[in-house]
Chains A and B, each alone.
Chain A
Amino acid sequence: MISIKDEGYEINHDPAERLVKFDGTLRLRGLNEYQPISDMLDKACQDSEHLTLNVKSLDFLNSSGIAMLSKFIITARKNNAKKITIVGSKDIPWQGKSLNNLKRLMPALELIIE
């Protein structure tokens, strides 16, 4: 298990489950501060053909965060062999529209809103 955690948020990568789970509130300032998370996602993507991002417990993600996630999806799309699944929550307002928009960047993306 590889983790990145700080005040208010926690991100865990479980290679065995091919899962990256986000919890809390992500309000880092700018893409630079998101770089460690971006690197973790890229690494997780490289190591596995199929990766699931679980954001059901991610209550808040700021604009830099969604930009980071979008760039990750674009990178994953360029590698056609990769399959990405995102699991979100219908109870968190930002997830409905923003996660759906990710499918525009990667039509093959599997989006599960629970």
Chain B
Amino acid sequence: MKNSTLESVEGLKQKIFDLQAEVARLRKDYADLELSLNTVIEHGDTIEEMLAQNNVDLKSEICARKETLVDLQSQFHNITQQKDDLETLVQMVTEHSDEIDNHWQEKYQVVEVDSLTDGLTNAANRRHFDQYLNTEWQRAIREQNEISLIMFDIDFFKSFNDHFGHSSGDICLKEIVRLAQQCISRPADLLFRYGGEEFAVVLPNTSIEGAIKLAHEIKESIADAKLSHSPAISSDYVTVSVGVDSCRPTAGMQPLELIDSADQYLYKAKLHGKNRVISKHCYTKRNEKMVKNYGSFTEIKEDKKLESLNLNFLPCSKTVQERWQHNGLSADFLGDYFTVFFPNKNDSEANRIAEVKNAVSYIANELLENAMKYAAENCMLPTSIGLYLDNSTIVFNESNHVENDQAETFMAYIEKFMAEDPNDFYLQQLENSAMSEEGQSGLGFLTMVNDYMAKLGWQFESIDETYTKVTTQVIIKL
């Protein structure tokens, strides 16, 4: 029992000790907890203060940022406006520049066209001619094509201007261009005012036959227009003389060759009475393929609607005579003329007249048939002033411009021809005196010739201006 009690006391003591220890621990815990609580409370206060401060700061920042946003939005608006303005401005300047470009381009084109156009007639001008012919010439060389050139010149244009005045001359030039343009249909065929009253048509890829055909169309178109001419000349209406040539150029050849050649034919057209077309076909050997086989002279006449035939009576040089001598007479074509050379004889006046008449008769009866075939086929014969073979009326159609003082020399020359051997007759000498620039008035000469021819008993239908050589032109009414 005592042991049991002791054990119980000891147990209680132990419990008390344990409890005291527990109390001490609890007190320690309490102190710790209290410290912790204070710490937490203090920390919480600090945090709260910090949060409160942060909140204030944030609110302040939000305000500042809102202000910044408004400012930025304003700036954005301004920048956007400026950007739009700049874009509009750039577009405006660009469009304006384009407009100005167009403006200058149009002006440039006008100037370019003007630089290649004749201001009076609106035909292409000489500068354009040089460029175009050169271009087409090179193309013809590359493609081995033919190229043709027509050159024509208004007949007696100086007389036209002298009579009607230069303003009418300008109108005439315009009309000639208009008429010629109407004949030209292919886009590559271009008409040019070559200079003064001279015109040119460049015909790329065109044969001589095509060019001659067009040349005749131009000549006829102008003649058919019946533009009144000066009464000082024999023709009532404005006409043109035309030279035509063609070639197939090769490397090394120059366009000037073609120009010179066509110009020479134009010169010959003037030489042989004007209002006609002359080309190398007039001078080349007769090509039988070109001669249409007419059954009779009447057929030719009707087919070609011929009204007259021009004959030139020409004092001949030895060379020419040798070429064309035939039964004491010589004859051949020179352009669209049938040229008769006087026989190489010194004869009486009566015999000379008889010889001329014989020549006319001979031509009409013997040579005319073949001559007409060739000439008619090539559209060479003129339709001009007529006269009748039966009474031997003669048109003296000289065009030599000779001053009065030179006329005497000229007539002496004719006298010499009549009196001496025609082989002593030098055409060059005649040309030197009669074709000089000073000798451009044929009135005195014509008067003297008229007297002389009247003395021979020849009746004149008309007397035209004189030209070049001592050529007596007889026009026979068909």
Contacts from A to B (Cβ < 8 Å):
60-63, 66-67, 70-71, 74, 93-94, 97-98, 101-102, 104-105
Contact = CB atoms under 8 A, between A and B. Distances in A.
Nearest to A104: B88
Given A67-B93, A70-B93, A101 B99 contact: no
B92 A70 contact: yes
Chief secondary structure at chain A's binding surface:
helix
A97 B93 contact: no
Nearest to B99: A94
Nearest to A70: B89
Interface string B85-98: 10011011101110
Q: Is the interface of B mostly helix, strand, loop or mixed?
A: helix
25 contacts: A60-B103, A61-B96, A62-B100, A63-B96, A63-B100, A66-B92, A66-B96, A67-B92, A67-B93, A70-B89, A70-B93, A74-B85, A93-B103, A94-B96, A94-B100, A97-B95, A97-B99, A98-B92, A98-B95, A98-B99, A101-B88, A101-B95, A105-B85, A105-B88, A105-B92
Contacts of A70: 88-89, 92-93
A102 B92 CA distance: 8
Contacts of B89: 67, 70-71, 74, 105
Nearest to B85: A74
Contacts of A93: 99, 102-103
Given A94-B103, A98-B99, A63 B88 contact: no
Contacts of A66: 92-93, 96
Given A63-B96, A70-B88, 16 more contacts: A66-B96, A67-B89, A67-B93, A70-B89, A70-B92, A93-B102, A93-B103, A94-B96, A94-B99, A97-B96, A97-B99, A98-B96, A101-B88, A101-B96, A102-B92, A105-B89
Classify chain B's interface size.
10 to 19
Contacts of A71: 89
Contacts of A62: 100
Interface string B431-449: 0000000000000000000
B93 A63 contact: yes
Contacts of B91: 101
Nearest to B92: A101
A30 B426 CA distance: 78
Contacts of B92: 66-67, 70, 98, 101-102, 104-105
A94 B94 CA distance: 12
Nearest to A69: B92
